[in-house]
A and B are shown apart, each in its own frame.
Chain A
Amino acid sequence: MNVATDMRDLSIAGLSVSGGAGPIVRDVTLSVRPGQPLTLLGESGSGKSLVAQAVMGSLPPGLTASGHIRLAGTDLLAAPAAVRRKGWGRTISLLPQEPWLALDPTMRIAGQVAEVHRFVHGRSAQESRLRAEENLAEVGLDRAGTLYPFQMSGGMCQRAAIAITHASDSALLIADEPTKGLDAALRDGVVERLKQEIAAGRLVFTITHDVAVAGALGGMIGVMLDGRLVDYGPAEEVLSAPTHPYTKALLAADPATWQRRVPTQAGAPVVTGRALAKAYGGRSLFEGLDIEVSAGEIVAVVGPSGCGKTTLGNILLGLAPAGSGTVERQGGVPPVRFQKLYQDPPAAFAPHQTIRRALADLVGLHGLSWGKAEALIARLRLGEHLLDRRPGEISGGELQRFALARGLLLDPVFLFADEATSRLDPVSQKEVVELLLEIVRDTGLAVLLVTHDGALADKIADRAVLLDRPAAWVSRRACDALTTGLAPCF
């Protein structure tokens, strides 16, 4: 029995990947068994994708792998490239990241599934077509065969990619960042599908930066940092009792593990929207929506992408007109004290200006003192040396803190944080959120937090507005809203 099981394993021993400048991945040892999937966690640049590429045999030119990778008893690294390529689609298949880019934009979906049967497995055209229909039906796309990728949603593209791996019917499935670019609802759907693959006896090897995905898949978890495997063990052990400091920081950065913020005594209303409605492209985003944000309060707006969260924030800021309804802002407060934080920090700064120039111009425009800027920079734990860089030369977390400093220079009463941490790595996200909470506590800033991350909203918001697709909205205490039956909207 033991031998038979071993024959089906993927085992990686002492794997290193080297480029011209020396090793990038060092001494990685892992294994995947049927029923025991493996998930590699790490940031971009940690080397986790290179491990997957070494297994697949698709390392970029100039990189070489050494060590052993055994699949079903044969050492893959010992085989020549041409032989390894013969294994693609037969013994190993890949679930690509961002499948809406990985599908051929000019071919109908059914054809992209059928060609695996036809050209990889050598079946007749007729049989390939029938089997492709089956594969699509398995993932609930039975009527989508005639669509082109650009006519499908991100979730549908993801399912089509899974149908293609079904057509391969390979022993090993490598999923490369399968939830990248998907919102929470679709993310859970993908995890469900991967669990079905595991239950069906396939070897599943997943690469992700999302702790929640790793936890949901179970099996073994490996944590990569700077090309090394720093933690490795059964999912429950790694997640409940991490040994390496990086793993601890990574887990502590997951909003699901945070302490819930104690609601503060709210002050006077700063922004009030009444009976707001907005339609986009003939589709109603929301109707009759009431929202109020008071000083010292954090109000979350939660919902899937495309539900109108950002539009709602822009209406409250006066950047977009409401379809109907009224917006009332605290009287006597100048417009510049209503500020916004953006999702993509580099896009929120003029690309050709140094940070120093941007801040100095702002200080000059409003007749402030540079000392105030310096104090804020120190408070947000930013180094002076970063000031002379351009936005593209600073990490996302630091740049978002500069954006916060820029807004705080004008003593805002209201801040619209538009998915302000969703593009940051988990550790940076935690830093930015902690600083924001500190400022809310100290200055009585009112925050409108737009996010697709229910856990984040749950932990830090006083109240939440849930925007669901069919123009429904609910407002109540965050913890109630987010733990009751409204979950499908995530």
Chain B
Amino acid sequence: MRRFLLARLAQAGLVALVVGTLSFALMRALPGDAAMRIAAGRYGPDAMTGQAADKVRLELGLDRPWPAQFLDWLETLARLDLGHSLVTGAPVIEELKVQLGASLWLAAAALLISLAIGPVAGVLAGLRPTGWADRLGLAASVSLRAVPPFVLGLVLILVFAIWLGWLPPAGFGTARDLVLPALTLALGLAAVSSRVTRDAVAAVARAPHFAFARHKGLPEAVVVRRHGLRNAAIPVVSYLGLQAIYLVEGVVVVESLFAYPGIGHALVHAIVERDIPMVQGTALAMGLIFVAVTACVDAASAWLDPRLRSAR
């Protein structure tokens, strides 16, 4: 258990290092004077003068050799000082707080909807492999996975928002605004989790220990409850770790598509506007959330599977 946590902590460190390094390189790679850009971000383009830029240059040590600046950059990052947005001038951390909340709502809703669809369809398919539920599930899963999330989102907007007019095409604030983006993500997640569940259920149904539980004379309900559920849940839960990747990537795409004011949308905006502190802040936050989700999945897997608990 401790080994898992240490590995995830190391991963979090790597995330910070990768994001920090790329952001620093980005700062150096952009044409023009970095001090001017920062001064403009801080004091507004109108108040930005040569003097202000010099002041910033001195304060941040932008005249020193780059390795020293790089260490400085990382040290600032380690103190969780994310700086100010070059566009709005507001502290990055304040912007993140708002955006992160919106994104977490979206991700949570997507995950819940996907869990209501995927594993249920998977169990139905897995109980009768090659039966009609299995065939239908496979066809739906294969087709859904061939549709990129942004296309799926567009189709949902066209159908539900524009042709049927049931739901708003974009916006934020009410639960109704959440439905379409969350559904877009959830369908993509469920397309995979339904098949993982199906395979897990079919594998347990074939397993010698499942047959032995019946041969012991246990009633069917007891066989499923005591020897089926936990064993089938192990691969499904550990697969959630991989689904976290899809979720994080999907949040970026879906938020941009639905103009949903979350952290993914902010990241794409920051990239287009070359707002490096915001790029760094949003990427770091998303990376760390990704690591946190994976750590939770590790913990859940270990709780389910005693073999993982004892592996040291």
> Footprint of B on A, CB under 8 Å?
56, 58, 85-90, 93-94, 96, 98, 101-107, 115-116, 119-120, 148, 150-151, 164, 168
Smallest beta-carbon distance A146→chain B, Å = 11
Distance of A56 Cα from B217 Cα, bound (Å): 11
Smallest beta-carbon distance A433→chain B, Å = 33
CB-CB nearest 10 A-B residue pairs: A89-B217, A102-B212, A120-B217, A88-B217, A101-B208, A94-B215, A102-B208, A104-B209, A148-B306, A119-B222
Note all chain B residues with C-beta closer than 8 A to A85: 214
> Footprint of A on B, CB under 8 Å?
207-209, 211-219, 222, 226-227, 230-231, 234, 304-307, 310
Say whether A115 contacts B226, CB under 8 Å. yes
Smallest beta-carbon distance B302→chain A, Å = 12
Note all chain B residues with C-beta closer than 8 A to A56: 215
Note all chain B residues with C-beta closer than 8 A to A106: 230-231, 234, 304-307
Say whether B310 contacts A151, CB under 8 Å. yes
Pick the contact of A104: B217, B219, B231, B304 (CB < 8 A): B231
Say whether A105 contacts B209, CB under 8 Å. yes
Note all chain A residues with C-beta closer than 8 A to B213: 104
Give B228's nearest chain A residue, CB to CB.
A104
Give A102's nearest chain B residue, CB to CB.
B212
Distance of A383 Cα from B84 Cα, bound (Å): 81
Note all chain A residues with C-beta closer than 8 A to B216: 88-89, 93, 115-116, 120, 164, 168
Say whether A119 contacts B215, CB under 8 Å. no
Note all chain B residues with C-beta closer than 8 A to A119: 217-219, 222
Note all chain B residues with C-beta closer than 8 A to A148: 306-307, 310
Say whether A150 contacts B307, CB under 8 Å. yes
Distance of A460 Cα from B170 Cα, bound (Å): 83
Say whether B214 contacts A88, CB under 8 Å. yes
Smallest beta-carbon distance A137→chain B, Å = 19
Pick the contact of B226: A58, A90, A93, A107 (CB < 8 A): A107
Distance of A30 Cα from B230 Cα, bound (Å): 41
- Name, among B207, B216, B234, the residue most crowded by chain A CB atoms within 10 Å (CB to CB): B216
Note all chain A residues with C-beta closer than 8 A to B230: 106
Distance of A96 Cα from B38 Cα, bound (Å): 73
- Can you add 11 more A-B contacts, CB < 8 Å, to A102-B208, A119-B219? A89-B218, A90-B217, A93-B217, A96-B211, A98-B208, A102-B209, A102-B211, A104-B226, A115-B216, A119-B222, A120-B216
Note all chain A residues with C-beta closer than 8 A to B219: 119
Distance of A17 Cα from B234 Cα, bound (Å): 38
> What are 30 of the A-B contact pairs (CB < 8 Å)?
A58-B214, A86-B217, A88-B215, A88-B216, A89-B218, A90-B217, A93-B215, A94-B215, A96-B208, A96-B211, A96-B215, A102-B208, A102-B211, A103-B212, A104-B209, A104-B213, A104-B226, A105-B209, A105-B231, A105-B306, A106-B231, A106-B306, A107-B227, A115-B216, A116-B217, A119-B217, A148-B307, A148-B310, A150-B306, A168-B217
